[in-house]
Amino acid sequence: MYDFRLAEVAEWIVSRDARTVAVQLPEGLKVHAQNIACDLRERTGADILILGDPCYGACDYAPSFSRYADALVQFGHAEIPSMASPANILFVEVFIDVDVSALLERALPVLRDRVGLLTTVQHVPQLPKIMDWLASHGKEVRIGRGDALIKFEGQVLGCNISSVDPIVKDVDQFLYVGSGDFHPLMVAIESDKPVLVLDPLMNEVRDMEDLKERILRQRHAAIVRAESARHFLILVSTKVGQERLELARRLKDLAEENDRSAEIVLLEEIHPDRLLPYQADAYVSTACPRIAVDDYLRYPKPILTPVEMEIVLGLKKWSDYSLDSIQG
């Protein structure tokens, strides 16, 4: 099902004369790590090391790899065009070859006339066929080009859905091809358009409206809980593509200008246990936008996004609400 493009990777390793190579994979692909290491070792003769820590995207490559390896290969993510990375890092998109025609047939009765097509990097090669299929069934299809964080047309990230922006006024609905809910959830909230998910791994078609309403209620509840907060802990990730220290400093200034206090804490991995030593009434995450939404139940205090903190401080209204994103 997965195309790891190991012949291309091996050629790159040999061309660099790399003797020790670190490989990094997201959680969903780590089950393949040992087979990949064995294959690359046989093809290249290099010593292959597997990085076991979590990896959330191309924004999250391990800068310290150069202490113990000549090169790093990160599987599963597209390179971020605007993010400068060392020449001895190779980003390998891992494409999934799966037939979605049956899912398209199931989705057809609820698809509207003008459809915006979106996906994650794994399914990018399938978009032309899906476009042709939709067009042959009378649908007008649009695919947008995102900003400098986005490599492919129609691609969305967990922190960036800018591929929506150029086409949002020209479509009645978005069709997202991929697994998981966070990416299409962002699209549903930010575009205020219906979003249908075509999930090849779960073999299902689902609508995002109910989840969208539930998450918005959860986020509103977090804001209400934080309204009495006097002291904020503003969290900054030290991961290469997630660090937004200047935003954190601006939020700290806003807190102090509105008779609150705040401290900035830098963390490589933002986790509830690592916040236990610190006193705070609420947390504000400037790291990956998913943290506040996906993990909010794990935190003993309300965890907010930057926009939500501004609502708590009375600087914005709930009607101004949007999910956090990292722009290129």
Res. 1: pLDDT tops 90 = no
pLDDT for res 82: 87
Q: Across the beta sheet with 114-119, what order do the strands follow?
A: 140-142, 114-119, 173-177, 195-199, 204-207
Residue 305 confidence (pLDDT): 96
The residue type of 125 is P
- For 257-282, the pLDDT digits (tens) are 999 999 999 998 899 999 999 999 99
Please check the confidence at residue 86 and state whether its pLDDT lies above 90. Answer: no
pLDDT at 191 over 90: yes
Among 3.40.50.11850, 1.10.8.100, 3.40.1710.10, 3.40.50.2300, what is the CATH number of 101-207?
Answer: 3.40.50.11850
Measured N-to-C along each axis, helices 6-15 and 33-44 cross at an angle, to the nearest 10 degrees, of 50
Distance CA 113, CA 134 (A): 10
Residue 97 pLDDT: 85
- Report the C-alpha gap between 137 and 160 in whole angstroms: 30
Work out the mean pLDDT of the chain and round it to a whole number. Answer: 95
Q: What residue spans in the chain does CATH classification 3.40.50.11840 cover? A: 2-94
Distance CA 141, CA 79 (A): 26
Confidence of residue 62 (pLDDT cuts 50, 70, 90): confident
**pLDDT of 326 above 90:** no
How many other C-beta atoms lie within 10 A of the C-beta of residue 145? 14
Q: What is the mean pLDDT of residues 103-114?
A: 97
213-320 CATH fold? Rossmann fold (3.40.50)
Q: How many CB atoms lie within 10 A of CB 135?
A: 12
The CA distances from residue 18 to 73, 155, 236, in Å, are: 11, 31, 34
pLDDT on residue 10? 98
- The distance of Cα 154 from the centroid of its chain, to the nearest Å, equals 14
CATH topology (fold) of 2-94:
Rossmann fold (3.40.50)
pLDDT band at 25 (very low <50, low <70, confident <90, very high): very high
Closest to 104 (Cα-Cα) out of 141, 146, 78: 141
Residue 328 has pLDDT above 80, yes or no: no
| 304 vs 223: CA distance, rounded Å | 7
What is the pLDDT, as a whole number, of residue 56? 86
pLDDT at position 84 is 79
